Amino acid sequence: MAYFLGVDTGGTYTDAVILDQAANRVIGKAKALTSRHNLAVGIGEAVDAAIAAAGVTPSEVALVSLSTTLATNALVEGQGGRVALIFIGFDADDLGRGGLIEALKGDPVISFAGGHSHAGTETAPLDLTALEQSVRGLGDEVMGFAVAARFATRNPAHEIAAREVIRRVTGRPVTCSHELSAQLNGPKRALTAVLNARLIGMIDRLVAACEQHLAAVGIDAPLMVVRGDGALISAAMVRERPIETILSGPAASIVGARWLTGASDALVSDIGGTTTDVALLRGGLPEIDPQGARVGGFRTMVEAVAMRTTGLGGDSEVHLLTEGLTGGLRLGPRRLIPVALLAVDHGPMVHAALDRWLSTEVTGEMDGRFVVPMTGQTGGLSTREAAVLARIAAPMPMAQALTSRLEVAALERLVSRGLVMISGVTPSDASHALGRLAAWDKVAAEKAVRLIARRRTGAGERFATGPEAFAQAVVDQLTAQTVDCLLEAAFGEDPAFSDQLPEALARHPLTTAGLAGHRGVMEITARLGVPVIGLGASAPSYYGAVGVRLGCEMILPEHAGVANAIGAVAGQVSQRATGLVSSPGEGRFTAHLATGLQTFKSCDEALVVMEAALVAEASERARRAGAVDLRIEAKRDIREAEVEGRRMFIEATLTATASGRPRVARG
């Protein structure tokens, strides 16, 4: 009998499930802490425990599928490796569009003349000699390159030529914008290429870690990865296009939610350690975002589920709001290592520091915070950043790593590069202090919460009278921000409010009054009109109060804590290729093929040739992605205009989709 293994690697936990596909049921599941220093450790512990719980042998596993929130988390938290952008044929002003400067975060940009016109003809030659000289010295400073050329989707020749030079000279991975999207909007394509290049190292380490353990235990089965739209792709393909895994975990959670509950219409809300992901299930299917996935403030060109991802989770940073007299709390968007978790492996250091801080009357700004070194590419660090990183040889109190306040900015840069993580008070610590969780060091959590509760508001009063009161305030704040996330998604998906900002409606006084059941001269009632499916290991701890607040049914399925891992093996493989046929002049029709432009005298002939090329491309991609028993679907979107009573062809966008079930190992 063949079984399927699903694995989900999140910011805090790695989950594994064994599905009996024939019986359509979970027969084994397990959780392990995600081991950032070596992902294979956490994956191995979860996989081994799930196989043992299921009572199956590794040789009986016929398919392995992996979903992850690591790419999503990295973008939400502003992390990732250093990259260089090769910008061909664009103006200086183009860097300011689409959030490109913010995404680069000071990483190098090299601009060249070149690119093509809207019709696909070369506007200026690309100086490959100058390109070679420019990138030669960057190979040791960056982990990858992104290449974007003007109108590369109409003619990718300059991107392809630049890629070959960079690979030959530096040996580093290269991402070309035309490979990620067939749409226009060069700066947005460049943004997507930059983010892809930034994620390559992270996803490569994840796939390698999974492959390493599968080989070690004797699982000889195809390894698939969940894409952002819920479809599956092979591990080899995802190494080249890691950007497609943004929203991989959330997409898998939606597939898992449907599999677990059978619900047709509901809001799916998945709370993890780093993010809360909300999407609408309509007619049993998730909505696909036509504008591209939006994560961490960036609108990419990656096709993914219509998901609202917010930096709010069990391990979100607790911010103290000291403006004004009363003070307040805000959670996220950055993930911290909970103090209770850090104390599991570094208890003596953590407890000694907490006891020292608690022994004084005044709580310092850095008290209760620790720094933890991570592995990663260190090229391009400033002298100050390198000095701070050198001091952080092991987990330690934050103040111990810094010699002056001038180094705080350097530390923040190291955190954004993923070279250092901060540990501090989180909702997970609050839940441990309240006795709702018992997974880690409860005593360390209580000490850390007691310490932060002693901080002062603008009026000079302590934020809370004791650790229990502060911990409850943190949990209440998580409830309030989760309610906001769900309301934003609900208003955003309701066509009656399409011309309004969902963020404003979610926080509007009338919405707040309606949820509270206001009764006065005016009576106002509001509630969510669909059920909420709460997913994530901590959903049972937090989501009961959310359902009460929203006046809706809250569905918490039995295997909610491993829904992502279930969704990872419940999907199908799907690949799509898109191309354009344009008309540069009357009686001339140009097919913009991957191999170059081809002009025809007949519109029908150009369409047929373009469609055949796209079907072949989509089919080849689907087979590389691990699909068998392909189904092909082709669509034509033809734009015409009426000129003096005649229908004139403008252009046509053609799409071919190849879908199939994932290839499994034969027993």
Tens of pLDDT along 49-61? 999 999 999 999 9
Q: Residue 590 above 60 pLDDT?
A: yes
Tokens found for residue 552: 């809706």
Q: Residue 235 above 60 pLDDT?
A: yes
Query: In sequence order, what DSSP letters do the residues of 215-244 get, joined into one string?
Result: HHHT--S-EEEE-TTS-EEEHHHHHH-GGG
The CA–CA distances, whole Å, from 158 to 95, 401, 508, 591 equal 19, 46, 50, 18
Nearest partner of 466 among 428, 430, 427, 440, judged by Cα: 430
Nearest partner of 633 among 613, 617, 656, 653, judged by Cα: 656
Query: Over the stretch 82-132, which tens digit does the pLDDT of each residue have?
Result: 899 999 999 988 988 878 888 888 899 999 999 999 888 899 999 999 999
Tokens found for residue 500: 């309004």
Burial class of residue 589, CB neighbours in 10 A (0-12, 13-18, 19+):
buried
Which backbone phi and psi does 36 adopt, to 5 degrees? -60, -35
**Given the DSSP bridges, would you call strands 109-112 and 83-88 parallel, antiparallel or unpaired?**
parallel
Query: Are 628 and 574 a contacting pair, CB within 8 Å?
Result: no
Query: Over the stretch 511-553, which tens digit does the pLDDT of each residue have?
Result: 999 999 999 999 999 999 999 999 988 898 899 999 999 999 9
Q: Residue 299 above 90 pLDDT?
A: no
Q: Residue 667 above 70 pLDDT?
A: no
Nearest partner of 455 among 342, 318, 343, judged by Cα: 318
Tokens found for residue 515: 């949820």
Helix (H) or strand (E) holding 345: helix 339-358
Question: Which amino acid would we find at residue 459?
Answer: A
CA distance 272 to 595: 44
Q: Residue 296 above 70 pLDDT?
A: no
Q: Using H for helix, E for strand and C for coil, what is the string for 237-257?
A: HHHHCHHHHCCHHHHHHHHHH
- What Rg value do the Cα atoms of the chain yield, rounded? 26
Q: Furthest-apart CA pair in the chain: how many Å?
A: 88
Who's near 548: CB < 8 A, 6+ residues apart?
none
Band (303; pLDDT cuts 50, 70, 90): confident
Burial class of residue 601, CB neighbours in 10 A (0-12, 13-18, 19+):
exposed
Query: Over the stretch 177-218, which tens digit does the pLDDT of each residue have?
Result: 988 887 888 999 999 889 888 888 788 888 889 999 999 999
Q: What is the reported pLDDT for 90?
A: 94
